[in-house]
């Protein structure tokens, strides 16, 4: 069964909606949900999405650490991916998240605190949170320092 894992609406264009599913792919609608197209990450079980409020073409999507097909689920990478072109292309921006046991090998959700300085949070399935106060720019991935408490 396919379930929607997130819905995100572009704050500057309310007819643009993104949806992630537990059975692969990020989907995008530019007509308020009448039609949908796949825009990538089609081998990943997605868990969350953040649209950068200062640049709505920049999207961050987290994955649950599972690679899913219609007939099989395998352990995969738990990552945050970034697109700087509204989903046309994607890159991994969290190569430094620690390896975890398979039971906790997933990112449950992501969130962004836009001010005073942008902070991206990745919340793992075991309850651990990581944060990055650096944006992935000029090919430099954001850093994920030691676990942190939940954002206030």
Q: How confident is the model at residue 139 (pLDDT cuts 50, 70, 90)?
A: very low
In this structure, is residue 31 part of a structural domain?
A: yes
Here the tokens at position 25 are: 């792919």
Please check whether residue 84 is in contact with residue 101, taking contact to mean a CB–CB distance below 8 angstroms: no
Please check whether residue 29 is in contact with residue 36, taking contact to mean a CB–CB distance below 8 angstroms: yes
The pTM score is 0.77
* Domain tally, the chain: 1
Its domain, for residue 9, covers 4-107
Whether pLDDT at 75 is above 60 = no
Give me the CATH number covering residue 16: 2.120.10.30
Q: How confident is the model at residue 72 (pLDDT cuts 50, 70, 90)?
A: very low
Mean pLDDT over 2-6 rounds to 82
In this structure, is residue 78 part of a structural domain?
A: yes
In this structure, is residue 83 part of a structural domain?
A: yes
Share above pLDDT 70 across residues of the chain, in percent, rounded to a whole number:
67
The rounded Cα 145 to chain-centroid distance in angstroms is 18
Handedness of CA 43, 106, 136, 92 (dihedral sign): negative
In this structure, is residue 149 part of a structural domain?
A: no
Cis ω before 116 (30° cut-off from 0): yes
- Edge-first strand order for the sheet with 91-92 is 46-51, 59-63, 80-83, 91-92
């Amino acid at each position: 069964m396919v379930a929607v894992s997130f819905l995100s609406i572009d704050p500057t264009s309310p007819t643009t909606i993104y949806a992630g599913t537990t059975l692969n792919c990020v989907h995008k609608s530019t007509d308020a949900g009448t039609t949908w197209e796949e825009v990538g990450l089609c081998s990943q079980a997605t868990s969350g999405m953040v649209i950068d409020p200062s640049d709505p073409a920049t999207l961050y999507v987290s994955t649950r650490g599972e690679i899913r097909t219609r007939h099989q689920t395998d352990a995969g990478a738990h990552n945050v991916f970034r697109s700087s072109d509204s989903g046309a292309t994607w890159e991994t921006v969290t190569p430094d998240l620690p390896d975890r046991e398979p039971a906790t090998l997933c990112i449950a959700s992501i969130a962004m605190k836009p001010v005073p300085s942008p902070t991206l949070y990745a919340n793992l399935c075991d309850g651990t949170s990581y944060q990055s106060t650096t944006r992935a720019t000029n090919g430099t991935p954001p850093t994920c320092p030691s676990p942190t408490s939940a954002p206030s």
